[in-house]
Amino acid sequence: MDASDDGWLLRGSGDPSEVAAYYDAWAGNYDADLDDWAYAAPTVVASALLDRVPEARLVLDAGCGTGLVGAALRSAGFTGVLHGIDLSEASLRVAMQSGAYSVLDTADLQQTLAFDDDSFDALSCVGVMTYVPDVERCWREFCRVVRPDGVVVVTQREDLWDERDCAAVIDRLVADGMWTPIWVSDPEPYLPNNEDYTDRIGVHYVAATIRS
Ligand SMILES: C[S@@+](CC[C@H](N)C(=O)[O-])C[C@H]1O[C@@H](n2cnc3c(N)ncnc32)[C@H](O)[C@@H]1O
């Protein structure tokens, strides 16, 4: 990203067409920029997911972008079917070239997902919740499409954690018998080499098992 970004990445947006346009324009440079900023979340999530469901054969990467999570899952040994969905068609084309994904589709995580209940063994959602203001609706949908005893692993920016009441959302999903959290991290480094984030804005990781 250059100066024309004008703080957009930090500010974010919940408008799907604005988000798609931003990530379409960035798709060609995204991987290199994230590498420069020491982005570790895809590797952390891939290993958290496979540690908890090593037998997973069918995984949904929700908001897959250019495919960094898919690459991390493959590097960590995942050999099953990997389905990626995202708003940004240009990012999906980069993900396709990575060869990590079995299926790639355009989809909006603010809408009901076009999958049956219990479709996946596990789901990853990394760096995406900035753009999804209704956290509870989205996480309930994740619980719906993952099978009982499967796992959901998501990230949420530290500065949005309280603003969007994420701890309370987690608790409501527990109370409603949707999931059992197995890991809710303190803030960990997110984009340490990006001047807007440095050590000021970290990331929370949430991993939860879907209830039977
Ligand atoms: C910071 S990137 C993260 C991409 C990838 N998960 C990673 O870790 O590199 C955020 C991604 O979320 C996608 N996104 C944002 N809002 C979305 C929505 N409502 N539905 C689907 N994808 C969305 C964007 O298009 C973008 O590719």
The reported pLDDT for the residue numbered 3 is: 43
**Averaged pLDDT of the chain:** 96
Q: Is 23 in the pocket of ligand 1 (CB under 6 A)?
A: yes
Q: Is 31 in the pocket of ligand 1 (CB under 6 A)?
A: no
Q: Is 42 in the pocket of ligand 1 (CB under 6 A)?
A: yes
Q: For residue 212, name the pLDDT band (cuts at 50, 70, 90).
A: confident
The reported pLDDT for the residue numbered 4 is: 57
The reported pLDDT for the residue numbered 103 is: 98
Are 207 and 149 contacting, i.e. CB atoms less than 8 angstroms apart? no
Lowest mean pLDDT among 2-11, 69-78, 148-157: 2-11
Q: What is the pTM of this model?
A: 0.97
DSSP state of 31: H
* pLDDT one-digit tens code per residue, 23-43: 999 999 999 999 999 999 999
Q: Is 209 in the pocket of ligand 1 (CB under 6 A)?
A: no
Domain range annotation of the chain: 3-210
Are 36 and 193 contacting, i.e. CB atoms less than 8 angstroms apart? yes
| CATH of the domain spanning 3-210 | 3.40.50.150
Whose Cα sits closest to atom 26 in ligand 1? 65
Span from the CA of 166 to the centroid of ligand 1 (angstroms): 19
